[in-house]
Structure 1
Amino acid sequence: MTGLVTFEAWAGLAGDSPTSRTEWAAVVAAWGEPHRRYHDLAHLAAVLGLVDALGGGADPDAVRLAAWYHDVVYDPQRSDNEEISAQRARAGLRGLVAEERVAEVERLVRLTAGHDPAPDDGNGAVLCDADLAVLAGPPEAYAGYASAVREEYAHLSDEEFTAGRIAVLEHLLGLETLYRTERARAWTATARANLTAELTLLRGRGAPS
């Protein structure tokens, strides 16, 4: 297991106690659920690493904790995963960290539903940029990501998935600012090119023959 998701890394945020150890094990188990193809432990590790690399934010530890919880609940047949993940964060962190930080973690997790933090939201900018970094990968890496997401939604027909995915891509392309942190803004052109290419492909599939 990568060092970013070890108990030692977690304990630096939530302390070393029997309750903390139990919660860490539960969180890791959730991220390791077999139906996950993209939203898995590798994604968690990637987001944690990018949170550290992007820096900034008024409360870096709250951002790190929000990364641990942002997809802790991931059921492709639900539309409220971010809300349930935020509630899961509150329940899991109660008594482990200060109430003010718990509230901030909840807020940040909810923010990942739309990835549209306010201009002055430094914590939100770091978390959302880290979560969306995959959009700016090389074309082959982006294709792998898109394929993994399709696998997670295997219960949907091609028509249903295409309609839903188009809506997601249109939302992301419609954001006035895709990336907010100074470092991540350089990823914008590549990410928009990847999103546009996938959107064009999906729209083509839905066009009448």
Structure 2
Amino acid sequence: MDWPAAIAALGGTPDAWPRLESRYGEPHRRYHTLTHAAAVARDSAWLAGGLGETDRAVVAVAAWTHDVVYDANPGEDERASAVWAREALTGVAEAHVERVEGLILATIKHDAPADDHLATALLDADLAILGAPEAQYAGYAQAVREEYAKYPGDVWREGRIAVLEGMLSRTLYRSEAARTRWASAATANLTAELTRWRRERPDHR
């Protein structure tokens, strides 16, 4: 669901789109661009296909805004994006605004109650890139590294290893549909990247 349709379904006005587009076009972004937001909106729409129109609109708005503020500061970025979304949802009922905020905040730890179907759609879609073809995944990994260029190589390597180990230690996707579509490739991609980073450690044998 695109931005105008989602906002209209929630009774709001789509006036914030130029500002949203501008934020996603910031020059320091490499992966967390409007292309990523559009992909999350697309994949979350597929995963939320069985929900009602209002719920699908809420998921769509959360997808478009979940990374609207992005300065490579995990946690702070998501909280700032939730604030941005609240300010942008002119005319939207408070209950829907709160739901959008909650969904964006759920992306901080990628966790939510098991029966939260809206969160499942958003969180699984946000991780779809992990199950992309190998070359596309490699492009994502390089782009994220460029976004975190402020960190020296050794700091990035150890941080990335911790992130990859964390993802491989848990079930990545909440829904059966997402697991069927992306889980196998995601495990292979994450494992391959983790192996490469471990080999770059000075004490690797």
CA distance 1:132–1:37, change in 2 (3 Å): same
Aligned residue number for residue 199 of structure 1:
194
Match of 1:42 among 31, 35, 39: 35
The reply on whether 1:67 has 2:63 as its aligned counterpart is yes
Residue pair 1:14, 1:96 contacting (<8 A) in 2 also: no
CA-to-aligned-CA distance 1:121-145 (integer Å, 9 cap, x gap): 1011100111100000111111111
Residues 161 and 67 (structure 1), Cα distance of their counterparts in 2 relative to 1, 3 Å cut: same
What RMSD in Å do the two structures reach over aligned CA positions? 2.0
On the 8 A contact 2:74/2:108 being kept in 1, the answer is no
In 2, distance between residues paired with 1:10 and 1:78?
25
Closer, same or farther: CA 154–139 of 1 in aligned 2, 3 Å: same
- Partner of residue 183 from structure 1, selected from 177, 185, 188: 177
- DSSP-derived class of the 2:165 partner: helix
Structure 2 CA distance for partners of 1:80 and 1:179, relative to 1, 3 Å: same
Q: Does 1:10 align with 2:25?
A: no
| TM superposition shift of 1:170 | 2.1
- Residue 77 of structure 1: how far off its partner (Å): 4.7
Counterpart in 2 of 1:29? 22
Asked if residue 92 in structure 1 is aligned to residue 85 in structure 2, the reply is: no
Q: Per the alignment, do residues 169 and 207 of structure 1 end up closer, same or farther by CA in structure 2, a change over 3 Å counting?
A: same
Aligned twin of 2:134: 139
Contact 1:54 1:183 in 2 (8 A): yes
**Off by >6 Å, runs of 4+ in structure 1:** none
Q: With structure 2 as the length reference, what TM-score do the two structures score?
A: 0.89
Q: Give the direction of change, closer, same or farther, for the CA distance of 1:77–1:122 in structure 2 (3 Å limit).
A: closer
TM-score (norm 1): 0.87
Give the letter for the 1:69 counterpart: T
In 2: Cα distance, 1:11 partner to 1:134 partner: 25
Conservation of the 8 A alpha-carbon contact between 2:75 and 2:108: no
Identity rate, percent: 46
Where 1:76 maps in the other structure, the secondary structure is coil
> Could you tell me which of 102, 115, 140 is aligned with 1:107?
102
Given that 2:172 and 2:183 are in contact with CA atoms closer than 8 Å, whether structure 1 keeps it comes out as: yes
Aligned match of 1:54: 47
Structure 1 residues 78, 131: closer, same or farther in 2, change over 3 A? closer
Structure 1 counterpart of 2:147, one-letter code: E
Structure 1 residue runs of 5 or longer lacking an equivalent are none
Decide whether aligned partners of structure 1 residues 184 and 193 sit closer, same or farther in structure 2, where only a CA change above 3 A counts.
Answer: same
Deviations 1:38-93 (A, max 9, x none): 00011111111111222245611111010011100000256511111111111211
Displacement of 1:14 = 2.0
CA–CA separation in structure 2 for the residues paired with 1:190 and 1:21: 37
Size of the alignment, in residue pairs?
Answer: 198
* Residue aligned with 1:206, SS: coil
Q: What are the ranges of 5 or more consecutive residues in structure 2 without an aligned counterpart?
A: none
CA distance in 1, matches of 2:58, 2:86: 12
Q: Show the counterpart of 1:126.
A: 121
2:26 maps to a residue whose letter is E
